Amino acid sequence: AQTVTQSQPEMSVQEAETVTLSCTYDTSESDYYLFWYKQPPSRQMILVIRQEAYKQQNATENRFSVNFQKAAKSFSLKISDSQLGDAAMYFCAYLDSNYQLIWGAGTKLIIKP
């Protein structure tokens, strides 16, 4: 069975700085999809970025980018120019062959003004 591990329960970063959230996963599949979701205090889950495993190029969405290392089964999220609105829980997720999302435990991101 696939598993997703987020080893950082909490991270903090100074406003305007860059922060990287780590995520590792375990799977025997060769083709799959990975996601980062954000859950702000409102608790509305918001898709931040997604990555197809067959693509070697790292996905980028404005200030958000990933470092996808398929061999190492690593999928970290980099947030550049951190803003107060980035404060949230961030969840890494793996889409399995049953179209179900396998979730990591989450990382709470604190932005220091």
CA distance 39 to 44: 6
Q: Which of 2, 11, 22, 52 touches another protein by CB under 8 A? A: 52
108 token code pair: 């709470």
110 binds another protein (CB under 8 A): no
Q: Are 21 and 76 in contact (CB under 8 A)?
A: yes
Q: Which of 2, 20, 22, 45 touches another protein by CB under 8 A? A: 45
How many other C-beta atoms can be found within 10 angstroms of the C-beta atom of residue 112?
Answer: 11
Q: Are 1 and 100 in contact (CB under 8 A)?
A: no
Q: Is the dihedral of CA 13, 15, 18, 19 positive or negative?
A: positive
Q: How far is the CB of 4 from another protein (least distance, A)?
A: 9
50 binds another protein (CB under 8 A): yes
Q: Which of 12, 17, 105, 110 touches another protein by CB under 8 A? A: 105
- Binding window for another protein (CB under 8 A); candidates: 16-24, 60-68, 71-79, 100-108: 100-108
Q: How far is the CB of 99 from another protein (least distance, A)?
A: 5
33 binds another protein (CB under 8 A): yes
